[in-house]
């Protein structure tokens, strides 16, 4: 496995890596997946390596895929329940005997393992948009081993890697001429992060699709990430169009990626406190934004529905879509979390 330039790197955002480096991780992931089907073992890739996993938020796919992934590569995972440890604190936010400064925690963990993986977002950081990422970056600043972002409010790079792996299995690495319909979708929850949308579009933008992004006017995405998506698409031969109709995203699409995410303008730092009640009222205006058969019938006959899961059935997506001919790809996407993360860990963990 040729991973020159990747060993020892942190995996915090996909924007930290070149297209070629992402392709290296994907190539390794695809080889490992093919061997996995043949029951070939790869316990010699990261033998005896330890992955410390810190989950400040609930998880199914992320926890299982990282635990299984490091095990299948020959290592082991330590699940660190935050309530059973001191709370990691940024400098100036410590509380005596309740917290531990991140600089101290990171240096200790990195002497007892080979990588540190962290998921921290939402209520845990008071919905402060960049705080989770700042915490992860602070761990990386002090850690002597790679730090992996398992999701914050801004980024979900593991999911983005699995998304582009799934798209490449469907259509090949060159996505020019493929329409990816991407959309906000309704949910009664006001606590779904925007990170998966960011990284689905960012990862795909490196490979030249035509992205048509539908969202209500109040549901913008991060302008810096949107600009990076546009720049990538200009370089890769694709295009980027924003529309205000879910039907426009679905029409003649190869893929419809539709899920809910929060309204950034009703969360810190735009507002002093999270405005979940106002957000709920706003969402109700767009209750009909659902990935249902009517929308999927507008897409190509062989179109696929994608979602990072877990989804809110009956709201974001209908049972008919998720359990029908369109929805199987969402479960391929979930499985690819395991393989994509194995490719990434094999690339960066020394």
At 39 the pLDDT is: 62
The 3-state DSSP class for residue 268 equals coil
The pLDDT value given to residue 16: 98
What pLDDT band is residue 2 in, cutting at 50, 70 and 90? low
Instruction: Identify the helix (H) or strand (E) that includes residue 203.
Output: helix 195-205
Mean pLDDT value across residues 86-111: 93
Write out pLDDT tens, residues 284-329: 999 999 999 999 999 999 999 999 999 999 999 999 999 999 999 9
CA–CA dist 307, 327 (Å, integer): 9
For the ranges 37-46, 74-83, 329-338, the one whose mean pLDDT is highest: 329-338
- Portions of the chain given CATH number 3.40.50.1370: 14-155, 159-334
Confidence band, pLDDT 50/70/90 cuts, at residue 1? low
CATH code for residues 159-334: 3.40.50.1370
**pLDDT tier at 83, thresholds 50, 70, 90:** confident
Specify the range with the lowest mean pLDDT, choosing from 15-19, 32-36, 194-198. Answer: 32-36
Contact 190, 281 (CB under 8 A): no
User: What confidence score (pLDDT) does residue 161 get?
Assistant: 98
* Entry pTM: 0.96
What value does the mean pLDDT of the chain take?
A: 96
Query: pLDDT at position 37, please?
Result: 62
Nearest-CA neighbor of 254 among 309, 155, 329? 329
Instruction: Work out whether the CA dihedral 114, 124, 223, 311 comes out positive or negative.
Output: positive
Return d(Cα 229, Cα 198) in angstroms, integer: 9
Q: Is the pLDDT of residue 189 over 80?
A: yes
d(CA 254, CA 180): 6
Predicted pLDDT of residue 87? 85
Q: What is the number of helices (H) and of strands (E) in the chain?
A: 12, 11
Residue 264 exposed, middle or buried by CB count within 10 Å (0-12, 13-18, 19+)? buried
What residues contact residue 163 under an 8 Å CB cut-off, 6+ apart?
199, 200, 203, 204, 257, 306, 308, 333, 336
- Among the residue ranges 39-53, 145-159, 290-304, 315-329, the one predicted with the least confidence is 39-53
pLDDT value of position 258: 98
In CATH, what number does 14-155 get?
3.40.50.1370
SS3 160: helix
Per-residue confidence band for 38, with pLDDT thresholds at 50, 70 and 90: low
Here the tokens at position 42 are 């790869």
């Amino acid at each position: 496995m040729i991973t020159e330039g990747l060993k020892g790197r942190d995996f915090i955002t996909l924007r930290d890596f070149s297209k070629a480096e992402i392709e290296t991780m994907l190539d390794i992931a695809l080889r490992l997946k093919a061997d996995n089907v043949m029951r070939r073992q790869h316990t010699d890739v990261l033998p005896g390596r330890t992955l410390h996993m810190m989950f400040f938020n609930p998880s199914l796919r992320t926890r299982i895929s990282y635990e299984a992934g490091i095990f299948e590569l020959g290592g082991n995972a330590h699940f660190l329940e935050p309530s059973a440890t001191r709370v990691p604190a940024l400098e100036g936010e410590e509380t005596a005997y309740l917290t531990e400064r991140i600089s101290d925690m990171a240096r200790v963990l990195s002497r007892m393992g080979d990588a540190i993986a962290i998921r921290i977002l939402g209520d845990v950081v008071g919905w402060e948009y960049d705080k989770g990422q700042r915490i992860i970056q602070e761990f990386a600043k002090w850690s002597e081993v790679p730090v992996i972002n398992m999701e914050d409010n801004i980024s979900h790079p593991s999911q983005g890697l699995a998304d582009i792996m799934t798209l490449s299995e469907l259509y090949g690495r060159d996505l020019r001429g493929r329409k990816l319909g991407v959309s906000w979708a309704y949910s009664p929850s006001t606590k779904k992060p925007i990170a998966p949308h960011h990284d689905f579009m960012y990862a795909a933008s490196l490979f030249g699709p035509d992205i048509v992004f539908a969202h209500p006017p109040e549901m913008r995405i991060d302008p810096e990430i949107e600009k990076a998506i546009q720049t990538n698409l200009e370089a890769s031969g694709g295009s980027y169009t924003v529309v205000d109709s879910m039907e426009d995203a679905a029409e003649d699409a190869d893929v419809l990626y539709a899920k809910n995410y929060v309204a950034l303008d009703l969360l810190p730092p735009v507002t002093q406190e999270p405005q979940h009640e106002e957000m709920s009222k706003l969402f109700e205006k767009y209750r009909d934004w659902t990935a249902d058969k009517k929308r999927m019938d507008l897409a190509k006959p062989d179109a696929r529905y994608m979602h990072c899961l877990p989804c809110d059935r009956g709201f974001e997506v209908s049972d008919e879509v998720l359990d029908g001919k369109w929805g199987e790809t969402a479960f391929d996407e979930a499985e690819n979390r395991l393989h994509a993360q194995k490719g990434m860990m094999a690339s960066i963990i020394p």
